Chain A
């Protein structure tokens, strides 16, 4: 079991190297630091000296791969590739184009992200699973048919409308909770209700429909028929047999997104003014701060790979056959 996990973890290394190479090529080879400097300094009336200064301040003045001016190890370490890309492996993100320490910002900003994404995931799971189970109970009736139609309709509404509509109705018309903002400690609670609620409603359509399929697949299996043949009531069949077994694919499906909860949601956070990693990323994109975007790309990939790893592990825990194959 442990050997299996180690083997899977080792697979992650070449993938991370690949991600690193892609981001390096995108950010430094396709457009040279000179182009980026020009973009930041504005187009007209800039001297080469200004560009040089801008690059030197942010460490982009170094050569890409090999520094001919240095000796020994420094020949390779004093390069953009080592300073900007390789150091990501050590989770040393460096400083942003505006001079702030990215690692510090990330460690501060992941808590608000988690404060939204974890309740959103838990409440969302609870609600969608209950709805899906209810629909599975009424399967092949008009209730089932219309529930699926409503799910499809809910899925067809853009996330933007959920957020704008929710903000408008709950925050502005009913004035129950503040529209946006964030606070420390427990005061944050009132700011979190609306984004969590909207997140849950936004995911309701696709989630319910997906879990309904899983439940229906489970319902048609032989052991369920056996249980029914034994005379167990339909409710008991659903709760004791179907729900328990269907939870296996549902939960293993959830595991893969667990690590990405840190990053939070780009849209929700920027709409509600929550100082998490999602709004951090959006701000960086809007300010064209390439250092932050690059760090977030790397961090996102690491978290995704961890998610894959956790999925593999959870499969082995659930299904012993995988361990021995």
Chain B
């Protein structure tokens, strides 16, 4: 085998979550009452567009979660057949950007380093000049005159490839749609173009068009230049920003995985059983809530650091160590954030348990656990889903802030917070190093903005109060 797969803890949980989402979609497809609100989300332009963007980010995170040990070249040494380095599929796809490391700062699309360096000539004279980069634009003979034409050519190539791919994708989608719509492929396409569809496919087509275009241009230009420049140690900033997607998505989604069981079971129990169970659960969440979140996270992460430095031998690789810290961060974020949802669910269960159908279920003699799981929980799931959607963007933002205070993810891990943290120190430099911040800003803002917009649409569609209001 040319590689040896590695499944990190966070990978496993992330795949589990993805499987759960797929199962949910599959189940919901055939149940009208679950299908209806989601169809409403899909019929809104904002809904499908933001879903497309989020899925794009999500798939990058998945690609970046498929880890493996690459095989080493010298195969005669059978004991060390695999490198100890852990790579992901995304790393392989972005290989030129990952491996072409310069020596230090360079501006976006530059062919020279940012600062002048001393050069010694053969005759012994010394001069200060801008040195050419080792990789960025190194294929050019004369960087000053050829760069513009070369960039335009790469841009053109990228656009052509993007247009072809985009056309192929949408012809294929039209091909898939021809059966349910009972039209020919050409008619399907014209219907999409006229925006004469229930789900606004035209908006999706435009969004995917933009995304494919960006990816293609990044692939073409990024293989020869550094799109967002390089950082202090010469790493490609664009590569870092893309790698940070996995961290952001994982923090947003795995935290939910930790939080949900706590919030759902405790919230339902407090509301359903009332009495001392309610008192205990209320006491637990008020106490946890009263500790300022940042401080609780700081305390927990500090303690993890103490634990890790005292048990360093248990963590075989830096990646495993960073991975455990990420998981721990999700865990602690989950512990600090379940209380809000728990309170909402408790209040909802209070209302539900007085409903006639629940009283009927009790009269018939159903067990409490059956009533809770069959009759109570399905009826507050909309609150859960709305909350997941709303919390997601907040968690992505929280990661950046926590990493800035050094209590976020491991400093060696790629994350937007770490990028900002490192770039902040460079703001005082002259000439200004702005690209790390800009890259982190663009990637983070896009994800959070579309997550926020999606959360709004989901809330409008799922919350019965809101939808009754607007109709």
Contact = CB atoms under 8 A, between A and B. Distances in A.
A, B bound: yes
A296 B400 CA distance: 22
Contacts of B302: 285, 288, 290, 293
A266 B445 contact: no
Contacts of A270: 405
A158 B298 CA distance: 19
Interface string A156-189: 1111110010011000000000000000000000
A59 interface: no
B456 A297 contact: no
Contact of A155 (B309, B424, B452): B452
A19 interface: yes
B371 interface: no
Nearest to B293: A300
A288 B302 CA distance: 7
A39 B290 contact: no
Contacts of A14: 283
B404 interface: yes
B294 A266 contact: yes
Contact of A281 (B295, B400, B444, B453): B295
Contact of B300 (A26, A152, A267, A281): A26
Nearest to B446: A156
B299 A161 contact: no
B427 interface: yes
A14 B290 CA distance: 12
B287 to A, nearest CB: 4
B400 A160 contact: yes
Given A293-B295, A297-B292, A161 B287 contact: no
B307 A35 contact: yes
Interface in B288-344: 288-292, 294-296, 298-300, 302-303, 305-307, 309-310
B156 interface: no
B309 A160 contact: no
Interface string A279-297: 0011001101010011011
B401 interface: yes
Given A263-B292, A305-B290, A38 B400 contact: no
A255 B427 CA distance: 38
B290 A301 contact: yes
Nearest to B455: A152
Q: Looking at chain B's contact residues, is the secondary structure mostly helix, strand, loop, or mixed?
A: helix
B51 interface: no
A15 interface: yes
Contacts of B437: 161, 164
A27 B303 contact: yes
A296 B291 CA distance: 9
A164 B290 contact: no
A43 B404 contact: no
Nearest to A289: B302
A308 B343 CA distance: 15
B278 to A, nearest CB: 14
A169 B294 CA distance: 28
Contacts of B449: 152-153, 156
B299 A293 contact: yes
Interface string B417-443: 100100010010000000001000100
A251 interface: no
Interface string A247-291: 000000000000010010011001000000000011001101010
B291 A297 contact: yes
Nearest to A167: B427
B397 interface: yes
A43 B308 CA distance: 12
Contacts of A286: 405-406
Contacts of B296: 297
Nearest to B403: A160
Contacts of B441: 157-158, 161
Contacts of A22: 287-288, 291
A15 to B, nearest CB: 5
B452 A156 contact: yes
Given A30-B303, A156-B445, A158-B397, A304 B290 contact: yes
B287 A23 contact: no
Interface in A33-56: 35-36, 38-39, 43
Interface string A1-21: 000000000000011001100
A31 interface: yes
A26 B305 contact: no
* Residue among A26, A156, A294, A305 facing the most chain B CB atoms (10 A cut-off): A156
Contacts of B407: 285
A217 to B, nearest CB: 10
A35 B51 CA distance: 47
A31 B306 contact: yes
Nearest to B288: A22
B286 interface: yes
Nearest to B302: A288
A301 B452 CA distance: 30
B404 A160 contact: yes
Given A267-B404, A300-B295, A18 B287 contact: yes
Contacts of B401: 158-160, 267
B89 interface: no
Nearest to A294: B299
B218 interface: no
A30 B299 CA distance: 11
* Residue among A159, A263, A267, A301 facing the most chain B CB atoms (10 A cut-off): A301
Leading 9 A-B pairs by shortest Cβ distance: A18-B287, A300-B292, A156-B449, A156-B448, A301-B290, A304-B290, A31-B306, A297-B295, A285-B298
Given A22-B288, A288-B305, 18 more contacts: A15-B286, A19-B287, A19-B290, A22-B291, A26-B303, A31-B306, A35-B306, A39-B310, A152-B452, A152-B456, A156-B448, A156-B451, A161-B441, A270-B405, A297-B296, A300-B292, A301-B291, A304-B289
Interface of A: 14-15, 18-19, 22-23, 26-27, 30-31, 35-36, 38-39, 43, 152-153, 155-161, 164, 167-168, 260, 263, 266-267, 270, 281-282, 285-286, 288, 290, 293-294, 296-297, 300-301, 304-305, 308
